[in-house]
Amino acid sequence: MTTTLKSRLQDDLTTAIKARDELRSSTLRLTITAISKEEVAGESARELSDAEVEKIIAREAKKRREAAEAFEKGGRAEQAEREKAEGEVLAEYLPKPLTDDELNALVAEAVREAAAGGAEGPRAMGAVMKVVNPKIAGRADGGRVAAAVKRQLAGG
């Protein structure tokens, strides 16, 4: 049986608790709580797919990045470091981020696909994003993807 991402998180939490790794255990605990909340949200409780769990982990990691930036701007280096460290723990459970070259290649392909469908120029942004987003699936920040799409549509 393949282990799900959620059960991997739970196993790693148990290991972290036994190792008295406070940072890792608290980070994983918060993430598992976010996953559990998502499972019981809506009409009926359900098991989330690995892709859905990955989205939650990515959302949690993004919260850590934003909090770290806010703490840095506020001159609270210690809290910023903690947030960054938690983000690094979560990054282990996410797909490897795309390099700029990989991202540009995927965007170029999506621009060609959208053009084949009749969408060209700056107005094609939505069509290109629709094509490229599923291929990127959490491996690049949305702002980074949109910037790459804009650059390529502008002929850059």
- Cα(152)–Cα(149) distance, rounded to whole angstroms? 5
Residue 121 and residue 153 in contact, taking contact as beta carbons nearer than 8 Å: yes
Give the pLDDT confidence score for residue 156 in this predicted structure: 52
- Cα(21)–Cα(69) distance, rounded to whole angstroms? 24
Give the pLDDT confidence score for residue 1 in this predicted structure: 38
- Cα(54)–Cα(138) distance, rounded to whole angstroms? 8
Give the pLDDT confidence score for residue 31 in this predicted structure: 94
Residue 139 and residue 108 in contact, taking contact as beta carbons nearer than 8 Å: no
Give the pLDDT confidence score for residue 11 in this predicted structure: 94
* HSE-CB of 122 using CA atoms within 13 angstroms: 1
Tokens 């949109």, residue located: 146
pLDDT tens across the length of the chain (156 residues): 356 889 999 999 999 999 999 999 999 999 999 999 998 988 888 888 888 888 889 889 989 999 999 999 999 999 999 999 999 999 999 888 888 888 888 888 888 888 777 777 767 777 888 888 878 877 777 788 888 888 887 765
Delineate the domains of the chain, giving CATH numbers in brackets: 5-92 (1.10.1510.10), 100-154 (1.10.10.410)
Secondary structure of residue 137 in the 3-state scheme: coil
Give the pLDDT confidence score for residue 3 in this predicted structure: 62
